[in-house]
Amino acid sequence: MTLQPADATGVARVCIANPGKMNVLSVAMWRQLRAIFEAMNSAIDAPRVVLLHGADGHFAAGGDIAEFPDFRFEPDTLRRFHEEDVAPALRAMLDCDIPLVAQIDGACIGGGLEIAACCDLRIAGRASRFGIPIARLGFPLAPAEASIVARVLGLPLLRELLLEARLLDADAALAKGIVTRVVDDDKVAADALAAAERIAALSPQAMCLNKRLLRQLAEGGLSAAQRHEHFAYADSAEHREGLAAFMEKRDPRFQT
């Protein structure tokens, strides 16, 4: 898990890497993912957009099973892994008010699919494949992770993936709503970067307020105070610039 700071366009990169193992997720990687996003959420000079991708042709192929005997056979250590390592990392992603674009090559399985589900856009290559085939390994999905993945997949599709324990190809993933779009494998990186750069040129304030609003809706709706606070953007520079640019038939410049 490495963070590459924002480039000139405002796009930072998070790379999932576990060389030679299709980027399977170790306990240390989950902790790094959490640290990266918790730091970003409290940073002053946050990037405009984060592009997540995997190294060497895969997104992430699930958990690092070689580590599993260390902690999976005792209820307390198993629960702590899921609730104190995995779930907080995903939660730090969900709590991020910066747009997250997932570039998905190859395997996007188990924990990899969970990470992708916490991104805002999922741009996938034609050879990518998706699933949660843990019933082959004799265990069920953890509750917090199921709840997070279901936000994107919905319960009927999550049910299908868990019970059949099969992988879906990219076209099925698109038809069933797992990914935003599918492009040729040699174009995934360029398309995902182009999407990230396009979003980076839009209003960061609108992105932040939209992400906050969508999170509030996902978590039961807004309080009266939250609804009231939402409209505080009225007199902001970005709001004025966006409308002025439209009136003047020019591209807006959202420099914050």
Of 2 and 77, CB closest to a copy of itself: 77
Least gap, CB of 228 to a copy of itself (angstroms) = 7
Distance between CA atoms of residues 113 and 191, nearest Å: 20
Per 3-state DSSP, the chain is made up of helix, strand and coil in percentages (nearest 5) of 50, 15, 35
Of 1 and 193, CB closest to a copy of itself: 193
Least gap, CB of 71 to a copy of itself (angstroms) = 9
Of 35 and 189, CB closest to a copy of itself: 189
Least gap, CB of 142 to a copy of itself (angstroms) = 7
Distance between CA atoms of residues 249 and 199, nearest Å: 19
Q: Are 118 and 176 in contact (CB under 8 A)?
A: no
| Token output for 93 | 């992603």
Q: What are phi and psi of 118, to 5 degrees?
A: -90, 0
Least gap, CB of 177 to a copy of itself (angstroms) = 7
Query: Going along 167-226, which residue ranges are E strands?
Result: 168-169, 181-183
Of 1 and 168, CB closest to a copy of itself: 168
Least gap, CB of 73 to a copy of itself (angstroms) = 5
Of 32 and 203, CB closest to a copy of itself: 203
Which has the closest alpha carbon to 178: 86, 98, 104, 100?
104
Which has the closest alpha carbon to 107: 133, 81, 82?
133
